Structures are given as structure tokens and as C-alpha cells.
Amino acid sequence: MARFLLVHGANHGAWCWRDVVPDLTERGHAARAIELPSVSPDPTALTNITLDHDARAIRAALTAKTVLVGHSAAGFAITRAAALAPENVAALVYLCAYIPRPGATIADLARDAPGRPLNGALDIDRTHRAYRFRDAALTANLYHDCPDETVAFARPRLGWQAIGPQAETVAAPPPAIPAHTITCTNDRTIPPAQQRSMARTLPGATHHEIDTGHSPFFAAPAPLAALLDRIALAL
């Protein structure tokens, strides 16, 4: 049995893992998802949020050796958290996630994306340094291959995302911690080619692929849980 901590990406919350947590539990693992302070329904609450706020929230949830799974923008947060509490991280799993490279922020990596798929996808509150996805982006970028009910479920739950954490750099993950990457081969938010390129920057990492878009926790929760199960059993 392994412990899993599932960390949501930008604008999402623990709710996005609703189908994965019970599947992992049925497979005999202890799994939980947490909320990050960089997401809120109120953009005024996000003006001064930093990456360390997210990293400390993750560290506080690491009470024993845990497989730490970060989706999308959470790739940076789990990396920072692993540096704070390496003794409690059994492995890092980057799920269609931004992977830190020297001197680069998430915003830099998003601008580097082939085709710039997020152009026009966001509403930005510059006063409070936050953004959210426009309605059209839910089907165009996030949930195009998910069940029909996904947009109706997600729309009222999606929050504003603090920009602050995405304007910070992060050191590479501790080399002693096993790393895994999962490329989503039909992703319309972080292009698969970019995911593979980022994955190659992790020495010794094990690479996996899953045939979904950017939200495999909705599009293919059972195959995703099965892959996480295999990763845990191989540790």
C-alpha cells in the first residue's frame, strides 16, 4: 500500500480528483487530495499569494512517505514542497505538468508552448494579480475529451488562480527522490511535445504516457489510477 497526495493545477481544487481517489482506495492505497491557497473564488484574496504558500500547504499534508502527484501548474509546487520535506516524499509524479528548469517560471514555459494554446483563453484581473479560464476554454483547452457532464460539474467550482506563484522560479527536484512524468498525448493546454521536452530535463526519471487531454482525472480516471498504482508498486 502507498500513500498518495494529489495536488490540483491552476484554477482547480481537490474536487477534480473525485473519481481517482476512490479508485486508488479500492486498490488498497491511502489517497487524498488537498486545496492550494493559490486558488480562490475571490480574486482579492490572491494578490499576495506566493509559491511558498502552496508549498507549505503541501508540506503540512506530508505526514509520512507519500507519492506526490502534481497536475499541470502544480509541478512547480510539488517540487518546492519536496525540497522542504524530502524525507516524506516517496516519489514525484508530474501529470501533464510544468517541470522546473533553471531560470524559468510557469509563465515563461506557457509562453514557450508550441502554438501558444492558451492565447485568448484567460480573463486576467491585473489589479489582484489573478486569472481564470474563459468559458470557451473549458471545452477548447481543458475538457474536450471528458464526459458530457464534466463542464457542468467543473464550471461552478473553478476558481481564480493567483499569478504570483506562476512568476517564480524553482530549483530542480532533489535528485534522490524518484521522479515520474506522465505525458497526456491529446493535451490542448500543454502540448505533448512540450511535455516530452520538459520530461527529458529530469535525469533518471521514468516516463509514461496516457491517451487523454489535459484532464485525465475526468477523461480516464480508471486508467490514470491504474498507472499511479503501477508507479507505486514499482517503488
d(CA 177, CA 128) in angstroms, rounded, equals 36
In Å, how far are 21, 24, 66, 115 from 30, measured between CA atoms? 8, 7, 9, 39
Domain assignment of residue 199, given as a range: 3-233
Q: What is the pLDDT of residue 111?
A: 93
Q: What is the pLDDT of residue 179?
A: 98
Q: Which residues contact 154 (CB under 8 A, 6 or more apart)?
A: 12, 16, 138, 142, 143, 218
Give mean pLDDT, residues 54-71.
98
DSSP string, 194-207: HHHHHHTTSTT-EE
d(CA 85, CA 170) in angstroms, rounded, equals 15
Q: What is the pLDDT of residues 91-109, one digit of tens each?
A: 999 999 999 999 999 999 9
Query: Confidence class of residue 67 from pLDDT cuts 50, 70 and 90?
Result: very high
d(CA 75, CA 179) in angstroms, rounded, equals 11
Q: What is the pLDDT of residue 154?
A: 98
**How crowded is residue 48: how many other Cβ atoms within 10 Å of its Cβ?**
10
Domains in the chain, number: 1
By C-alpha distance, which of 81, 74, 69, 82 is closest to 232? 69
Which backbone phi and psi does 47 adopt, to 5 degrees? -55, -40
Q: What is the pLDDT of residue 233?
A: 96
Q: What is the pLDDT of residue 43?
A: 98
Q: What is the pLDDT of residues 184-213, one digit of tens each?
A: 999 999 999 999 999 999 999 999 999 999
d(CA 228, CA 93) in angstroms, rounded, equals 9
- CATH classification at residue 162: 3.40.50.1820
Q: What is the pLDDT of residue 214?
A: 98
- The answer to whether the beta carbons of residues 232 and 130 sit under 8 Å apart is no
Query: Confidence class of residue 118 from pLDDT cuts 50, 70 and 90?
Result: very high
Q: What is the pLDDT of residues 136-180, one digit of tens each?
A: 999 999 999 999 999 999 999 999 999 999 999 999 998 999 999
